[in-house]
Every structure is written in C-alpha cells, then in structure tokens.
Amino acid sequence: MIDPLSAIAMLVPLILSLSVHEFAHAQVAYWLGDGTADEMGRRTLNPIAHIDPFGTILFPLLGYHYQFLFGWARPVPVNPTRFKRSINTNRGMMLVAAAGPASNLILAFLATGALKLLLVTNPTVSMEKAIMLVWVIRMNLALCLFNLLPVYPLDGSRVIRGLLPRKATGWLDLMERNPLILLAAFGAVLYFAGSILVGPLLALEDVLFRLFQIV
C-alpha cells in the first residue's frame, strides 16, 4: 500500500526536476536558433507542459511501491535544421542534450546549499528531518548520471555524437535503426543502472557535501 503523503513528497520534487530538465533542453535549443519547443509552449518551467501521465506519474508511483524509482517527462521537440548557420548540427545537439543533465546537477548543487543553510540556521535539526532535501539531491544526481549514459535515446547518446567522430559512433546508429537492439540495450541499462550509477552518485554527493562542509 502506497502512503499518500510519502508518494506526494516523492512525486512533487521528481516532477519539478523533470520539468527543469526539459526546460533546459528547450532553452538551449532556443538560444541556438531552434524555436520549435517555444512555439509548442514547451519552453517553460510549468510542469503541466512536460508531464507524461505514465512516465511522470504512474510509473514512478509503481516504482516507489516496489522500491525502484524511475520516471521521465515528455521529450522536448528539437529541430537541428533550424539551428543558426554557425552551429554544427552534432555540436548543437550535444549542447541541447547536455543541458538537461547539467540542469539536474545545478539543482543538486542548490539543494545542497539549501541543506547547509537549514543546518546552519537550525543546528538541532536532524538529517532525518532534512530527508526531503537529501532526497532532492540524490534524485537530481541520479537523473544527471542516468541521462548521461551513452545509450539511445538518452542524452548521453547525443553528447557522445558531439564529442566523437562519426566513424566512432556507428553503434549508436545501429541502435537507433534497430528496434530490437534498442530495446535490449535500454532494458539492460534499466536493469543494471542501479549498480552502475550508485558509486558515481555517492561520490558526487560526497563532493557536494564536502564543498558545503556538511558532515
């Protein structure tokens, strides 16, 4: 049985974080000359514009019930043919893709700052009472790291395309063209994501806590 208050406490920051993630994609695309998302009302922080009923609400609730949290928002449309002439397509798509994970890293940084402020202004508060902020930090670090995995259609696949020469990313083309390979690869990522990301996530969290001198 899902506790309603706990579910809301989990869903609200998740929805807001996913909305910031998609807004970041749309904003960078807009800066590069592509107004597609803006014209569709997606260059906004309003969560309603980004919510996917299944991926943003139902799936996270099911995952929360089974202690496996995962979710996504509606992808922001990007048309690289509308980028400014001075912008290389692959490099532009890399910047747009990287903006999403970068926004989650910034949110984790801000949440860590808020946690430090809470602990300074109220020294008697326990970490258990500040668990919401800790949850926001970990959730955004997880979103950042997960989306940077180099598997189509995650942001990491676009980042890799922008960093490596075309001949070195043929495996991404194969994955994109073959639904079976795509499904197998993405299924493997979901299955092993926890074990792959837990080390880097805890390491990043430790860096943030040390930066803000949180014991």
Catalytic site residue 176? no
Q: For the chain, what is the total number of helices (H) and then of strands (E)? A: 8, 0
Pick the closest to residue 153 from 122, 131, 181 (CA basis): 181
Q: Which amino acid is at 135?
A: W
CA angle 112, 116, 121 (to 5 degrees): 145
Pick the closest to residue 146 from 89, 69, 80, 76 (CA basis): 69
d(CA 141, CA 88): 29
Residues whose CB falls within 8 Å of the CB of residue 135, separated by 6 or more in sequence, listed in order: 9, 10, 13
Tokens of 68: 């496996």
Q: Which residue reads 């990301």 in tokens?
A: 197
State the catalytic residue, choosing from 22, 39, 128, 176.
22
CA angle 37, 42, 46 (to 5 degrees): 165
Residues whose CB falls within 8 Å of the CB of residue 211, separated by 6 or more in sequence, listed in order: 112
Please identify every residue annotated as catalytic: 22
